[in-house]
Amino acid sequence: MGLLFKDPDNRPVDPKAVRQRTILLSLPFAIVGILALVFLLHDEIGSGFGMKKQMAIGLLSVVIVCGGLILLIFGISARKQALQNSTAKTAGQKPWLKRKDWTEGRITSSSRKAAWLLWVFVVFWCAASMVICLAVVPPQLQRGNQAALIALIFPVIGVAMIFFALKTTLAWRRFGRSIFEMTAIPAASGGTLAGAIQVQSRLQPQHALHLCLSCVRRTTTGASNNRQTSEKILWQDEKWLRADLPQTGPNATRIPVFFKLPANLPESTASLGDGIHWKLEAAATLRGPNFHAAFDVPVFKLPETAVPTDDPTAQHQMSLDEVRRQIHSRIQVNDLPDDGKEFIFPAARNPGFASGATIVCLIWTGIIALLVWNRAPKPFLLVFGAIDLLMTAFVFDLWFRRSRVAVNSKSVTVQRTWLAFKKEQSLRADEIKSIASDVGATAGHAAYHDLKVQTRGGKELILAKNLSSKPEADWLVQQMIAALKRPV
């Protein structure tokens, strides 16, 4: 029936075409109805057609019912189309109305869907790994090709993925669906994102609960058979809340949410594909499965932006010293004799990030070794080798880069050291236009921040790289500006 009232390619419905299709559909029933009426009348006057009165009445009744049903379907379709046109017109002015959860202001976490998708991926990965290992490794070993053992890394990765999928499933079964209830719909650029996350469990974090809001640009590239999706974090903010979260019942927890939003970032994309996505995430380390919930929230530019209200999370937020202990910060801040401050950023201060990057680099290097072993074409080796050199340099920087920044009322001096190699740069205080933190490297949904100086001449100087905490990065910026003893 759907084809009777809409075009197959989902174009706007043509009312004239709908009327024509309805008439064509009704025509056979109309002919049968007319014949039944003729038979009934002729039967009454004794024409001898031979059709019983009951049969003619039944046939006429069927025609009337079918005709009424067609008219009803036509009316429902017309009403539905009118509502769709009205909604589309409204959604054109208010894009957040395209999604039901955004319209209602009750956004459900994607943990259940993520668990199912993860298991589907794990099953396909393990099945493909077993096929590769059984079909490739034994024959190659019989030929004396020991390099084929590198294929065993795929089932090893599969075992790790199974363990991760089990943890994700157990967490979903323990916490169920979490719902983020927004105070205002949508959140306004330059305003605030406020509300509360309702969790169907009593949360008792071992240390703290981490809230993170990210603006992410999602992009899909490549042909249909080789498509790749990448995400770039444009902006990120975070908060650490103490373990004494508000309990709304014996098995329910309420997590207050409040973030100030910048006004210079793009607004949300209503579709789930490519575009801009504002992600709110809540995570906590617990006894047993850890808690994690993610929400796709609407942020749009509005004609009028409400003045930010008081922060309901302030009474639950950890102090900066507590946050630094929580993240095991090794950054040192010392006073200098000339009334300035010294900031020391040790090497290898993000061991988790550095270890992950090292593992990826080693795997890539192993692939290159395999290509060399099998005498791959030189263009492939050159391209893969260049990428490997960049990855090696990045890993070396993570493990061995040490920065010392000295700030006073006269200048800002940064000294960077890699083992025995040293480099120093200095700027006069009157050359400095601003000091700020910005998103640098990213790993998944985690962003690492860089401290940057912008000069009045348009140049940029990086003071420190890969700070794991946004609150700590903002605090360091404030300390540097205070040490300059002049507004920037």
Is there a contact between 111 and 172 (Cβ–Cβ < 8 Å)? yes
pLDDT the model gives residue 18? 53
Residue 327 has φ and ψ, to the nearest 5°, of: -90, 5
Q: Give the integer Cα–Cα distance in Å for 253 and 439.
A: 32
Q: What is the mean pLDDT of the chain?
A: 80
Q: Is the pLDDT of residue 89 over 60?
A: no
pLDDT score recorded for residue 396? 94
d(CA 127, CA 311): 50
Q: Where are the domains of the chain?
A: 2-93, 111-308, 343-484
pTM: 0.70
Average pLDDT over residues 440-463: 88
Tell the burial category of 278 from Cβ atoms under 10 Å away from its Cβ (0-12, 13-18, 19+): buried
**Is residue 67 within 8 Å of 37, Cβ to Cβ?**
no
CATH class of 111-308: mainly beta
The residue behind tokens 């001898």 is 48
- Separation between Cα atoms, residue 207 and residue 291, nearest integer Å: 13
**How far is the first Cα of the chain from the last one, in angstroms, to the nearest whole number?**
67
Q: What angle do CA 472, 475, 478 make, to 5 degrees?
A: 155
Strands 208-221 and 275-284: antiparallel
Structure tokens at 384: 């893969």
Alpha-carbon torsion 354, 356, 358, 360, what sign?
negative
Q: Report the SS3 class of residue 419.
A: coil
Residue 285: CB atoms within 10 Å: 12
* 279: DSSP letter: E
pLDDT band at 149 (very low <50, low <70, confident <90, very high): confident
pLDDT band at 231 (very low <50, low <70, confident <90, very high): confident
**Does position 248 have pLDDT exceeding 80, yes or no?**
no
- What percent of the chain clears pLDDT 70, i.e. is strictly above it? 78
What are the angstrom distances between the C-alpha of 83 and each of 77, 79, 91? 10, 6, 12
Q: Model confidence at 64, in pLDDT bands (50, 70, 90)?
A: low
Cβ–Cβ under 8 Å, residues 240 and 209: yes
For the CA atoms of 165, 170, 176, 177, what is the dihedral angle to 10 degrees? -20
Q: Stretch 313-342: mean pLDDT, rounded?
A: 89
The CA distance from 273 to 269, in Å, is 8
Q: Band of the pLDDT at 6, cuts 50, 70, 90?
A: very low
110-149 burial, b for 16+ CB within 10 Å, e for fewer?
bbeeebeebbeebeebbeebeeebeeebeeeeeeeeeebe
* Three-class secondary structure of residue 487 per DSSP: coil
Q: What is the pLDDT of residues 191-224, one digit of tens each?
A: 999 999 998 888 888 788 999 999 999 888 876 6
**Letter for the amino acid at 454?**
Q
Give the single-character DSSP code of 311. Answer: -
